[in-house]
Structure 1
Amino acid sequence: MLLSTFKIRNFFVFNTLKLMRNVSAQPNAASTETKKPDTLKSLSVSEYRNVYVEFLPDPTVEFRNPIREKLERFDMLARRENVDIPEFYVGSILAVTYSDPHSLGKTNRFVGICIKREGCGLRAKFLLRNVIDQQGVEVLYEMYDPSIIKVEVLRLEKRLDDELLYLRDSLPEYSTFDSNMEMEILPEGTPIPINTLKVKLKPKPWLERWERKNLRGVESIDVPDYVLEKAKKVATPWEKHDLMKQYMKTIPEEEQITIFNEIQPQLQQLELTRKKLKRKRSFIKPVKLG
């Protein structure tokens, strides 16, 4: 019994020394792994965060699931390889072509201004608005819906506010766009233009109490003084200084770098393909004279 115990102990000691010898023989591998720089630091994580918003997970902790989020990112990349989803923001004018079994050509196309973006992962959505025959029409699209055939950015720009839901209570001229609108192509390297237009709201009643929101893209709201006093009572201006609340609503930059490092090669390939198509569209074939 003592002999067998001695043999077992020597066996474990021998294997432990062998493992330590193998680890000490490879110091360069560990050092290179720790000194490996983040590949996205030179590309500015903020640019990726603004362009590919839906790739970041939900900041609400209760809705977080790392395994599901990673699988969803692979599905999103596979979808982008088949359908080009260009860069756009709230305020950009888009044209979405989607399959419709009830239409004559089995497809339908809607042109409108993006007034809202929400959701993350495969649940990312965007809302388009247009006024057709003096009637406001809104269509909510799921960004990775298989029925979407094409997404075109007719005018790439930003607005002063993160949401443009107040266009529902504004004059129709701010939400009216021609369905045959041609695409406006920006030169490569041009910064995203910011439209500083301030819309004028229609008289009350409104769908929401816009005087209680800090809207920068709206002209001065004409409401009675007692309405403004009520708005001041429920205002929370100190929240912009609440660092903890801002931290809970954001994803740490270290986690963003890890996420975008996983999908950076595919995103770069998609960007190259998009740039090639953009150059083809911007090239005008000369007309032969005579």
Structure 2
Amino acid sequence: MVPMFSPCVSRIVGGYCRNVALRHLSSHAASTTKNEVPVPAQESQEEALATKEKETFSLPDYRFIYPEFLPNPDLTLRHRLAERLERVDMLRRRSRMEIPEFYVGSVLAVTVSDQQAPGKLSRFVGICILREGHGLRATMTLRNAIDQQGVEICYPLYNPTVQKVQVLRLEKRLDDDLRYLRDCPLEYSTFAFDMEPELVSESGEIPVNTVQVPLRPRPWTWRWERAGMKGLIVPQLREDFYQRAKKVSEPWVKYDLMREYRQSVPEEDQQRIFADVHEHVQSQETDQRRVRRRREFVAPKKAS
């Protein structure tokens, strides 16, 4: 059978088809480029600055200032959607009521709504001895001595009955758990209810109170000789107390990296969580500056 086209004609036809296809593709690309809207240089610069600001905010500071935003490190108890919804509720609560920065060892004044109180409000002043919990279940425990009797109140941080949280003295202690004040003299837990707020240093550094508190004689609420607290002075005990403490001690725990990993939230999760917190903080500061400018504005008076 004789072929319809010779090899020379086939090559010519194939080359013509390729040239037509290339011209069509090039014309389509040119038209697409013309229709595209160029991105303004100002918007690109603003996006770059916003990205840089998100990348440069201090993660360790947020980790210590807002520890309740970190979820439970136990993976069996984590649910990302529930954590996201809970975080939205927490930020919404913070937009309604200001929860200032405070640490264990700071002196706070908390005002809550109380139907049995004379003015429907109850105010308590005390030192924060413990801060624990995750999310909306975060709590803070305040301690004060009233009529020579130690009194402690545990406040849910995001409870709607909490009306105001005021920091009277912003400072840290050598330990993150001050429950040993229960077994110490009451003079270290006594604060006046009419205490005035102390000024914060302009440098922005949080002062660390290095006071060491002595324990009363036994019995205690816990075996503090086994705790290894830095801000606690343990009286001299019998030798058998120290021998039992040595038997139950676990000096290898501080070298157990897997234990530390299981008891901490991954850093990428912390970045995602505190990015939302950082955005909320920035918006709150912007609103406060706007309100401050509005208050400082004085309407001009008409000339008589």
TM over 0.5: yes
**Residue 160, structure 1, aligned to residue 174, structure 2:** yes
SS in 2 for 1:163: coil
CA contact (8 A) 2:217 2:235 kept: no
Instruction: Name the structure 2 match of 1:54.
Output: 68
Could you say if the C-alpha distance between residues 58 and 183 of structure 1 is closer, same or farther in structure 2, counting changes exceeding 3 Å?
same
Aligned equivalents of 1:121, 1:38: Cα separation in 2: 28
* Larger CA Rg, structure 1 vs 2: 2
Matches within 5 A, 1:1-290: 39-271=53-285
Could you say if the C-alpha distance between residues 275 and 241 of structure 1 is closer, same or farther in structure 2, counting changes exceeding 3 Å?
farther
254-263 or 177-186: bigger deviation: 254-263
CA contact (8 A) 2:71 2:83 kept: yes
The CA deviation at 1:187 is 3.3
Could you say if the C-alpha distance between residues 277 and 134 of structure 1 is closer, same or farther in structure 2, counting changes exceeding 3 Å?
farther
Instruction: Name the structure 1 match of 2:19.
Output: none
1:251-274 C-alpha deviation (Å, 9 max, x unpaired): 111111111223322122335667
Aligned equivalents of 1:263, 1:92: Cα separation in 2: 22
56-65 or 173-182: bigger deviation: 56-65
The CA deviation at 1:119 is 0.5
- Report the count of equivalent residues: 251
Amino acid at match of 1:109: R
Aligned equivalents of 1:222, 1:199: Cα separation in 2: 14
The CA deviation at 1:37 is 5.4
SS in 1 for 2:214: coil
CA contact (8 A) 2:225 2:234 kept: no
Aligned equivalents of 1:90, 1:276: Cα separation in 2: 32
Q: Which runs of 4+ in 1 moved over 2 A?
A: 36-41, 187-190, 269-278
Q: What do you get for the CA RMSD once the two structures are aligned?
A: 2.7
The CA deviation at 1:38 is 6.8
Amino acid at match of 1:59: P
Aligned equivalents of 1:207, 1:274: Cα separation in 2: 45
Could you say if the C-alpha distance between residues 272 and 242 of structure 1 is closer, same or farther in structure 2, counting changes exceeding 3 Å?
farther
TM-score by length of structure 2 reads: 0.77
TM-score by length of structure 1 reads: 0.80
CA contact (8 A) 1:83 1:150 kept: yes
Aligned equivalents of 1:152, 1:146: Cα separation in 2: 16
CA contact (8 A) 2:126 2:144 kept: yes
Q: What stretches of structure 1 of length at least 5 have no aligned partner?
A: 1-20, 27-31, 279-290
CA contact (8 A) 2:100 2:166 kept: yes
184-193 or 208-217: bigger deviation: 184-193
CA contact (8 A) 1:200 1:219 kept: yes
CA contact (8 A) 1:113 1:175 kept: yes
CA contact (8 A) 2:224 2:234 kept: no
